């Protein structure tokens, strides 16, 4: 993937396709939308102890990834958390 691919705007069709993929993977992982929201809220609560984050920009997805232990493809949780600032910086 090229660097400029990150900055291009996705079409509504691409967005719908991505959402459908996420829905199928989360369904296979037996993770309901309610459970995803609970996970998201827990992550916000824990990370917020240490960092100022953009909770509105937080993106959590369940996707599939290749297992490191040769178990084939397994579900994986990916979180994209925009960090505004660190709260507890060590003193120098």
The string of pLDDT tens digits covering residues 2-58 is 545 555 666 777 777 766 766 666 666 677 778 878 888 898 899 888 899 998 888
pLDDT tens profile 42-80: 988 998 888 999 988 888 887 778 878 777 877 788 888
Residues 6+ apart with CB under 8 A from 77: 39, 60, 61, 62
Return d(Cα 48, Cα 50) in angstroms, integer: 5
- The residue assigned the tokens 């990370």 is 47
User: What is the pTM for the complete model shown?
Assistant: 0.56
């Amino acid at each position: 993937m090229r660097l400029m691919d990150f900055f291009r705007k996705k079409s509504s069709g691409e967005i719908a396709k991505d959402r459908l993929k996420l829905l199928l993977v989360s369904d296979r992982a037996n993770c309901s939308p309610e459970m995803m929201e609970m996970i998201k809220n827990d992550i916000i609560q824990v990370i917020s102890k240490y960092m100022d984050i953009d909770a509105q920009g937080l993106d959590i997805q369940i996707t599939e990834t290749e297992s490191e232990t040769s178990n084939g493809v397994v579900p994986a949780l990916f979180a994209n958390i925009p960090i505004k600032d660190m709260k507890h910086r060590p003193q120098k």
